[in-house]
Amino acid sequence: MASARMHDSGSGEPRLRVAYQGVSGAYSEAAAQKAYPNSEAVPCDQFETAFEAVEGCTVDRAVLPIENSLGFQTSIVFSLEEGPGILYKALQIFAKEQINLTKIESRPWRRSSLRSPGEKANGLQKCFHYMFYVDFEASMASDNAQNALKALDVRLASSDFSIAK
């Protein structure tokens, strides 16, 4: 992946840093390790702290449990640069895995400055990096959720997407 936030695992390969809410040994840590094998799990004392860690570039992802008496619901956070069809390309992965999305929120990334994507005819186009908060109906342990998350990581690392730095 092209994220500057990832740390070297000692083997020369970058290692994802994944925030979770709780203390070391908590179920949330196991869920983070299950969702992102070989990642470095980073404990956070509160949900907000985990979100701030993603926004502040101290971690690459966050895995946070959401209680739902009707079934499994999972929340993920990721970042994309603005561009035609970028969000569609990211979210279509979930449709291909038959995963229902229950909530999508976007916010301009607070720590990202406004940038111009190159000279356009009118010279006025401005772009932001965005943070996306997505809830979906699937257990992190399910095969379809694992497949979707792996595909999303591949898509985020590809040339179609850029991870906000």
3-state secondary structure the chain: CCCCCCEECCCCCEECEEEEECCCCCHHHHHHHHHCCCCEEEEECCHHHHHHHHHCCCCCEEEEECCCCCCCCEEEEEEEECCCCHHHHHHHHHHHCCCEEEEEEEEECCCCCCECCCCCCCCCCCECEEEEEEEEECCCCCHHHHHHHHHHHHHHHCCCCCCCC
**What integer best gives the mean pLDDT of the chain?**
77
* Percent of the chain's residues with pLDDT above 70: 71
pLDDT at 97: 96
This prediction has a pTM of 0.55
Higher pLDDT, 9 or 97: 97
Domain 7-157, second-level architecture: 2-Layer Sandwich (3.30)
**Domain ranges (residues) in the chain:** 7-157
Average pLDDT over residues 55-59: 89
Average pLDDT over residues 38-66: 88
* Percent of the chain's residues with pLDDT above 90: 22
- The band of 117, judged by pLDDT with boundaries at 50, 70 and 90, is low
pLDDT at 86: 86
